[in-house]
Amino acid sequence: MTALTRYQRIEATGLWRASPDDQRREVIVSLGEATLVITDLNDRALTHWSLAAVIRQNPGERPAIFHPDGDPGETLELAESEAEMIEAMDTLRRAIDRARPRPGRLRVLSVVLSVAIVAGLGVFWLPGALKRQAVTVVPSIKRQDIGEALMGRLERMTGRACAQNTAGAPLHRLALRTQLRQIAVMPEGVRDALLLPGGLMLVNRRLIEDHEDPAILAGYMLAEKARAAQRDPLDELLSFGGPAASFRLLTTGALAEETLSDYAEHVLTRPRPDPDEAILLDIFAKARVTTAPYAYDRDASGETVLGLIEADPTAGQAAPPVMTDRDWVLLQNICLSE
């Protein structure tokens, strides 16, 4: 967006607190491609907010106070002297708001009518129908909002995502290579890889730091994509939240904070099922990534993953490397400052 390009280099100082009980602390605020990054005076990342989910608490007043959507207890205060940053954030929020889909009367009428018809067909059919309707009609930008909000809850248990500046570009290129919207490296908590609604992939730092071959990291991410191909991550979240979560999402466009917090704890502790082998091989083939490194990391003997090894879609082909050696070295340093 033109507005984003104009403000990409802006930084400011502000006062931030994580919760109403915490003391405010001086921080550095900078605008990223899709996030507002808040760091301490030693350039350590404290948090990052999705620009699409930043709310201004006191429009038109100074000092300006902002908070992430759904969490008014976490605040960022910008003094009147930081007028340029305040103007930039207000401009970007308006630009993002204009870009959001705005359903017309026909769509609203269609949703209301659909809900009314479903409600009349009985309690046994209603929960599944509400969930299917929600998964179908929720737009991609709202899925991204849900994914960012869920990541915020997960970070309370895993720690903040690693954010070494030199690893940003390699991580972006890896996302393009594996056809993902965004990748975040988590210091702990995530077992291997976890795909959130909106195409946000979380990976455990050990997949990067404990291996010399980036194909292993790519393999776990592609395996998680295969699971998502079998079952939409938003479908999993709504199944956990129950009919009330689906109904709330359909009628208000948001999920309850309690639902997101409870699901964050659930998704980190429940076992991840193995993806269907045929779907997995197809996804590896489309990404042109060898299956062998991932397969042997799952089972060093190769016995339980023999199908993946023997049916490697890149066998005999000159598949491009997952990452360059330089990018891989830079990515392996992503959590060193954490």
Domain identity same for 230 and 296: yes
Over 80: is that where the pLDDT of 229 sits? yes
Does 337 reside within a domain? no
Domain identity same for 173 and 133: no
Sign of the alpha-carbon torsion through 128, 131, 137, 140: negative
Domain identity same for 205 and 310: yes
Q: What is the 3-state secondary structure (H, E, C) of the chain?
A: CHHHHHHCCCEEEEEEECCCCCCCEEEEEEECCCEEEEECCCCCEEEEEEHHHEEECCCCCCCEEEEECCCCCCEEEECHHHHHHHHHHHHHHHHHHHHCCCCCHHHHHHHHHHHHHHHCCCCCCHHHHHHHHHHHHCCHHHHHHHHHHHHHHHHHHHCCCCCCHHHHHHHHHHHHHCCCCEEEEECCCCCCEEEECCCEEEEECHHHHCCCCHHHHHHHHHHHHHHHHHCCHHHHHHHHHCHHHHHHHHHHCCCCHHHHHHHHHHHHHCCCCCCCHHHHHHHHHHHCCCCHHHHHHHCCCCCCCHHHHHCCCCCCCCCCCCCCHHHHHHHCCCCCCC
Cα 1–chain centre separation? 20
Domain identity same for 255 and 281: yes
What gap in Å lies between CA 294 and CA 106, rounded to an integer? 48
Does 153 reside within a domain? yes
How much is the average pLDDT of 274-282?
92
Does 217 reside within a domain? yes
Domain identity same for 285 and 156: yes
One-letter amino acid of 305: V
- The two most distant CA atoms of the chain are separated, in Å, by 65
What gap in Å lies between CA 68 and CA 53, rounded to an integer? 6
State residue 108's pLDDT score: 61
Percent of the chain with pLDDT over 70: 88
Of the listed ranges 10-19, 91-100, 251-260, the least confidently predicted one is 91-100
Over 90: is that where the pLDDT of 279 sits? yes
Highest mean pLDDT out of 19-23, 247-251, 260-264: 260-264
Domain identity same for 123 and 187: no
Domain identity same for 111 and 80: no
Domain identity same for 84 and 144: no
**Total residue length of the chain:** 338
State residue 116's pLDDT score: 53
- Domain total for the chain? 3
How many C-beta neighbours within 10 Å does residue 50 have? 22
Of the listed ranges 3-17, 219-233, 299-313, the least confidently predicted one is 3-17
- For the record, the structure tokens of 35 come out as 């996030």
Domain identity same for 110 and 90: no
Domain identity same for 168 and 277: yes
Does 120 reside within a domain? yes
- The candidate with the shortest Cα–Cα distance to 200, out of 167, 234, 170, is 234
Of the listed ranges 126-130, 148-152, 205-209, the least confidently predicted one is 126-130
Does 336 reside within a domain? no
Tens-digit pLDDT profile for residues 191-204: 899 999 999 999 99
Tens-digit pLDDT profile for residues 32-63: 767 888 999 888 888 888 888 889 999 889 89
Does 159 reside within a domain? yes
pLDDT band at 106 (very low <50, low <70, confident <90, very high): low
pLDDT band at 208 (very low <50, low <70, confident <90, very high): very high
Domain boundary among 79, 99, 119: 99
Domain identity same for 92 and 185: no
Does 62 reside within a domain? yes
Give residue 114's domain range: 105-137
pLDDT band at 337 (very low <50, low <70, confident <90, very high): low
Residue 82 to residues 7, 90, 222, 300: CA-CA distances in angstroms?
A: 13, 12, 43, 56
Percent of the chain with pLDDT over 90: 53
What gap in Å lies between CA 266 and CA 144, rounded to an integer? 20
The enclosing domain of 50 has a CATH number of: 2.30.29.30
Average pLDDT, the chain: 86
Domain identity same for 132 and 75: no
Does 85 reside within a domain? yes
Over 80: is that where the pLDDT of 73 sits? yes
